[in-house]
Amino acid sequence: MRAVGLVVAVAVLLLVCVLSIMIGAKPVPLGDVWHGLFENSGVGNDVVIHDVRVPRTLLGLLVGLALGLSGAVMQGLTRNPLAEPGLLGVNAGAAAAVVSAIAFLGVVDVKEYVWFAFVGAAVVAVVVYLLGGSRSATPVRLALAGTAATAALYGYVNAVELLNSAALDRMRFWTVGSLASADMATIRQVAPFILTGAVLALLIARPLNAMEMGDDTARALGANINRTRVVAMVAVTLMCGAATAACGPIVFLGLMVPYMVRAITGPDMRWILPYAAVLAPVLLLGSDVVGRLVARPSELQVGIVTALIGGPVFIRLVRRKRMAQL
């Protein structure tokens, strides 16, 4: 049944991708979508599809994949069904690097944000791992170190924004989370990091299963605890750092989707990870389409829509008498 459910989820994802290409400030008929994808003439709707809608959809796929897998890995790593990618301070590190680049280096191009954000995310992830005890790191230590780093970095971000109006003006668009600035150059920049992280995440599904039963049991089953934690943090940093760099921090997605998936598949990470990799892009692209519809001819940023849609759903989930447990 889980295999059938995964096939259905992939079919839904394909449908949402088509809707993402069709719907926007200028609706595109289904027949023109096919023409624009495979017979691009360089005029009319073909330009909209090729230059705007396809890059936006591809970035949504990559970012959804990254956040879904990152959330699932974090929940398995910390044995906490309410964990999310920002727990390692990745989002805060990216934000701190971007605001520094804007305020002190005069960076104005979103394509340059990507590299600063990614480096910031990676550096903070390493610092959190070292603060968490390195080889003796535990889920609780990592969570506490990540929380402390996040608080300190967001304090720094707020201080810079208050003292620098240019940084405030540019950061307010980046921090809300949006796919609107997607282009193929950005996709080519972040895709290698996200795909590498995704492969690493899928490779550690079995040891993560063992670690969910506790460190002692995992060792008895032959899992290398320290290596798994390092690989998991590298995977989360690559995926979440690149996704945050490309479109800003999109909240809630990496928290809600893996939690919902766990209620469907059970605790087996070999199924949770593929389901999360498919359903997170469904929610992200679906939210992006909703944001284009409700504020047409303008749009509502996808980061806002995911929070508005996901908040009530998640509250409903956590209030259920039977909650998915690790």
Question: Residue-wise over 197-211: b if at least 16 C-beta within 10 A, else e?
Answer: bbebbbebbebbbbb
Give the pLDDT means over successive 10-residue stretches in the chain (326 positions).
92 95 84 77 80 93 95 86 78 88 81 82 85 66 84 91 80 80 88 95 93 80 85 90 86 86 89 96 94 84 86 69 49
In sequence order, which residues have a C-beta less than 8 Å from that of residue 27 and are 6 or more positions away?
Answer: none
- Give residue 191's pLDDT: 94
Structure tokens at 113: 């944000």
**CATH H superfamily, domain 1-319:** ABC transporter involved in vitamin B12 uptake, BtuC (1.10.3470.10)
Question: What's the CA gap between 72 and 235, in Å, rounded?
Answer: 11
- Give residue 197's pLDDT: 95
Alpha helices in the chain (DSSP H): 2-22, 30-38, 45-48, 54-78, 90-105, 110-131, 139-163, 165-174, 184-203, 205-211, 215-220, 225-247, 253-265, 269-294, 302-318
Is 248:303 a contact under the CB 8 Å cutoff?
yes
Position of tokens 């309410």? 82
- Give residue 1's pLDDT: 80
Is 13:282 a contact under the CB 8 Å cutoff?
yes
Structure tokens at 31: 């027949």
- Give residue 200's pLDDT: 97
- Give residue 324's pLDDT: 46
Is residue 268 classed exposed, middle or buried when 0-12, 13-18 and 19+ CB atoms within 10 A define those classes? Answer: middle
Position of tokens 């668009």? 173
φ, ψ at 212 (rounded to 5°):
-65, -20
Report the SS3 class of residue 23.
coil
